[in-house]
Amino acid sequence: MRLTVFGTGYLGATHAACMAELGHEVVGVDVDPGKVAKLSDGVTPFYEPGLEEVLRRNLDAGRLRFTTSYPEAADHADVHFLGVGTPQKKGEYAADLKYVHAVVDSLAPLIERPSVIIGKSTVPVGTAAELGARARAAATAEVEVAWNPEFLREGFAVQDTLRPDRLVLGVDSARERADWVAELVREVYADLLAADVPYLQTDLATAELVKVSANAFLATKISFINAVSEVCEATGADVTVLADALGYDARIGRRFLNAGLGFGGGCLPKDIRAFMARAGELGADHAVAFLREVDNINMRRRTKVVDMAAKACGGSLLGANVAVLGAAFKPESDDVRDSPALNVAGMIQLHGAVVSVYDPKALENSRRVFPTLNYATSITDACDRADVVLVLTEWAEFTALRPEDLNPVVRSRSIIDGRNCLERARWRDAGWVYAGLGTP
């Protein structure tokens, strides 16, 4: 099939490349000529394992190309995926839909034959219906809007696109062409459906709520174990062993029960806040009021680590040398949006410390957000003469660290494990002062 994908950020570029990998002829569209040029050369503007190989393979095969031209895209296909960002509005919790509206407003007048716009972006419930009316008012041909939310995990995005754990499609069943829309989407994903990927067809509102509800649940699970870790810290209990015990309960499961610095990134924080904002607009704010405490617990973990760093430096960070290992919000990503690690590094610097940050992939993005921090080129460079070392992103090269790797370079043998990812006995046996979150 011939498809377009509007937006070539993390979601859009991944979806475009993977749809081409499934055999479709795909045009990726973006208003940023720089992004289009990079992608056309086979270079991703962000780090995602395996994506560049898929991108280059399909560029070389002629199944994938990128453009800034909306007329070219409108002429190319009848199936248009919408994968632009929906960031948090400045000064508000609500999602900013200006990029979504811009695509629809620019594309719809160019559509000259029956077409469908399929949303992938995470949007407030009710957006799809509004976009449908908006598109039909501007188009000269029949236009339908459906919603097919993404469930990508950074670091596993290619896998999650080519072999997702489910496909959800929301359609407006009141529209005459609803069955036509569903059939088109089933054709797009024919290989996945043949591989028995679960497929759920819903109304528009349900499809919009699936993604944000999933993110709210995961955020709640993470904040739950972090709330328990606060009790563990007050009692001397061990949250890691407690989480293992909870995880054996099939109703609960072990995943996302890792106490530590908490969640960040471009999805969970802004999505739960947008969920709260939309619920308030619908008069149902009481139903998700608990998410405010989920958010509060998550942010408290960051200030807790800053306090732990000050304690490790004798009660004050003024003039201390602090090594921060990790800047991305999670390993296998260069994404620093709302990164707990980078947030903590910035707060520690504001307390008067000299902060040296090292991350295997996220240094360039970090410099754009916090240009005043010092950025190291290696672990040993970051830890040179450090009074305390903070492990804040669980990259494999950090979890594999041994005390003897750092003994010759640090000024003080003190380490804070912000992800509870190190073997604390090894560090303590080697004479280090080890501190974790929710652990004795």
Question: Is 383 a catalytic site residue?
Answer: no
Q: Label each residue of 11-28 as H, E or C.
A: HHHHHHHHHHHCCCEEEE
- Name, in order, each residue with C-beta under 8 angstroms of 73's C-beta and a sequence gap of 6 or more: 4, 6, 27, 29, 67, 80, 107
Q: In what order do the strands lie in the sheet with 414-417?
A: 374-375, 354-358, 321-325, 388-391, 414-417, 433-436
CA terminus-to-terminus distance, the chain: 57
Residue whose C-alpha is closest to residue 362's, from 345, 387, 380: 345
Per-residue exposure over 99-131, b if at least 16 CB sit within 10 Å of its own CB, e if not: bbeebbebbbebbeeebbbbbbbbbbbebbbbb
DSSP 259: -
**Is residue 144 within a helix (H) or strand (E), and if so which, with residue range?**
strand 143-147
Which is catalytic among the residues 232, 267, 313, 421? Answer: 267
Q: Could you tell me how far CA 201 lies from the centroid of its own chain?
A: 25
CB of 208 closer than 8 Å to CB of 123 = yes
3-class state of residue 36 by DSSP:
helix
Residue 25: φ, ψ to 5°: -90, 115
Question: Which residues are the active-site residues?
Answer: 267
